[in-house]
Structure 1
Amino acid sequence: MKLSSKALLALAISSITATAYAEPASQDFVPTTLAGTSAQSEAKGFIEDFSLGGTTRNWYSHESKYRGGNFEYKKHGQTLTDRNRTNWVQGTIINASSGFTQGTVGVKTELAVYNAVVLDRSKRDIKGGSNRTLADSDGDAVGQWSKLGLANVQFRVSNTTLTAGRQNFSSGIVDTIGNRALPSSFEGVSFNSEEFSNLSFQGGVFDRVSPRTEQSLSKFRSEYGNGTQETDKVSTLGLNYQPLKSLKVSVFGANVKDFWNQYYFGATHELGDAQQLALTTGFNYYKTVDEGKKEMGEIDNDTFSLSLGLAHQAHSLTFSYQQVNGNEYFDYLHETNGIYLANSLTSDFNGPNEKSFQVAYGINMAEYGVPGLKFNVYSARGWDIDGTHYTGNNGRAKFAYDGIQKQDGEKHQEYGVGASYAIQSGALKATTVRATYVEHRGSEFQSDGSIKEFRLVTTVPFNIL
Structure 2
Amino acid sequence: MKTALTFTPLFLAIAATISPLAHAADAPPADGFVEGSTLNINTRNYYMNRDRRDIHIDDSKEWGQGFLGIFESGYTQGTVGFGLDAHAMLGLKLDGGGGTDGSSILPYGSGSGKAPGSFSTGGGTLKMRAFDTELKAGDLFLNNPVIAGGMTRMLPETFRGVSLTNHSLDGWMFEGGQASFAKLYNQSGHGRIGTSYGALPKGESSQHMNWAGMAWSGLPGLTSNLYASELKDVWNQYYYDLDYTYALNDLISLNPGLHFYHTQDTGHALLGDIDNNTYSLHFTVGVGNHSVTAAYQRVNGNTPFDYIAQGDSVYLDNSQQYSDFNGPNERSWKLKYAYDFAGLGLPGLTSAVSYISGKTDLTKVDPNSRGYSAWYNADGKNAKHWERDIDLKYVVQGGKAKDLAVRLQWATNRGSNGYSAVDRDVDEYRMIVDYPINVF
Compute the TM-score of the two structures, normalised by the length of structure 2: 0.90
Shift of 1:93: 0.6
Deviations, residues 145-189 of structure 1 (Å, cap 9, x unaligned)? 2101x4101100111101100011121111122111000011000
Does 1:313 pair with 2:300?
no
Aligned pair in 2 of structure 1 residues 187, 59: CA closer, same or farther (>3 Å)? Answer: same
2:126 partner amino acid: V
User: Out of 100, 118, 121, which is 1:144 matched to?
Assistant: 118
Question: Is 1:377 the counterpart of 2:350 in the alignment?
Answer: no
Task: State the AA in 1 paired with 2:328.
Answer: P
Out of 41, 51, 55, which is 1:64 matched to? 51
Aligned equivalent of 1:198, options 171, 195, 215: 171
1:367-446 to 2 correspondence within 5 Å?
Answer: 367-383=343-359, 385-391=360-366, 398-406=370-378, 407-446=380-419
CA distance in 2 between partners of 1:198 and 1:37 (Å): 17
**Residue 364 (structure 1) aligns with:** 340
Between the aligned partners of 2:193 and 2:43, the Cα distance in structure 1 is 27
SS of match in other structure, 2:191: coil
Superimposed CA distance per residue, residues 206-254 of structure 1 (whole angstroms, 9 cap, x where no aligned partner): 0001100011101111111125452121000010112422211000000
Matched residue type, 2:332: S
Tell me, in whole angstroms, the C-alpha distance in 2 between the residues paired with 1:299 and 1:98: 43
CA distance in 1, matches of 2:292, 2:371: 41
> SS of 2:364's equivalent?
coil
Query: 1:177 — aligned with what?
Result: 150
Which residue of 264, 289, 301 corresponds with 2:276?
Answer: 301
Q: Residues 243-272 of structure 1, C-alpha deviation per residue, up to 9 Å, x if partnerless?
A: 422211000000111111000001111112
Quickly say closer, same or farther: Cα 1:99–1:309, change in 2 above 3 A: same
Residues 365, 375 of structure 2: 8 Å contact kept: no
Offset at residue 122 of structure 1 (A):
6.2
Query: CA contact under 8 A between 1:225 and 1:401: conserved in structure 2?
Result: no
**What is aligned with 1:207?**
180
Task: Kindly indicate whether the alpha-carbon contact (under 8 Å) linking 2:75 and 2:83 is maintained by their aligned counterparts in 1.
Answer: yes
Q: Tell me how far apart the structure 1 counterparts of residues 373 and 141 of structure 2 sit (CA, whole Å).
A: 29
Q: 1:104 deviation in Å?
A: 0.5
Cα distance change, pair 338–129 in 1 and its aligned pair in 2 (3 A): closer
Q: Is the 8 A contact 1:35 1:194 kept in 2?
A: no
- Unpaired runs of 5+ residues, structure 2, are 1-20
2:315 paired with 1:343: no
Distance 1:135 1:315, change over 3 A: same
1:55 equivalenced with 2:30 (yes/no): no
TM-score for the superposition, normalised by structure 1: 0.85
Partner in structure 2 of residue 249 of structure 1: 224
Q: 2:9 maps to which residue?
A: none
Runs of 4 or more consecutive aligned structure 1 residues displaced over 4 Å after TM superposition: 33-39
Say whether the 8 Å CA contact 1:210–1:218 is kept in structure 2. yes
The code of the aligned residue for 1:319 comes to A
Q: Supply the distance in 2 between the matched residues of 1:102 and 1:209 (Cα, whole angstroms).
A: 33
Residue 37 (structure 1) shift: 6.4
Equivalent position SS for 1:388 = helix
**2:24 touches 2:132 (CA, 8 Å); kept in 1?**
no
In structure 1, the gaps of 5 or more residues are 1-32, 71-81
> How far apart in 1 are the matches of 2:344 and 2:102?
41
Q: How many correspondences in the alignment?
A: 413
User: Residues of 2 paired with 1:313 and 1:388: CA distance?
Assistant: 46
- The one-letter amino acid of 2:35's match is E
Contact 1:54 / 1:93 at 8 angstroms: preserved in 2? yes
Alpha carbons 1:47, 1:99 under 8 Å: kept: yes
Q: 1:434 to 1:288 in 2, by over 3 A?
A: same
1:283 aligns with 2:258: yes
* Residue-by-residue CA offset, 1:282-339 (whole Å, 9 max, x unaligned): 1000011110011111111110000000001110000000000001101111122111
Q: Secondary structure at the match of 1:449?
A: coil
- Distance (whole Å) between structure 1 residues aligned to residue 191 and residue 376 of structure 2: 26
Distance apart, 1:127 and its partner CA: 3.3
How many angstroms does 1:403 deviate by?
A: 3.6
Q: Contact conserved, 1:275 with 1:312, CA < 8 A, in 2?
A: no
Q: Given that residues 441 and 450 in structure 1 are in contact (C-alpha distance below 8 angstroms), is that contact kept between their aligned partners in structure 2? A: yes
Aligned to 1:44: 31
Match of 2:206 in 1: 231
Superposed displacement of residue 86, structure 1: 0.4
Distance 1:268 1:377, change over 3 A: same
- After TM superposition, the structure 1 = structure 2 runs for residues 263-274 of structure 1, keeping only pairs within 5 Å, are 263-273=238-248
Task: Report the CA distance shift for 1:390/1:121 in structure 2 as closer, same or farther (over 3 A).
Answer: closer
* Aligned Cα root-mean-square deviation (Å): 1.8
In structure 1, distance between residues paired with 2:244 and 2:83: 36
2:7 alignment partner in structure 1: none
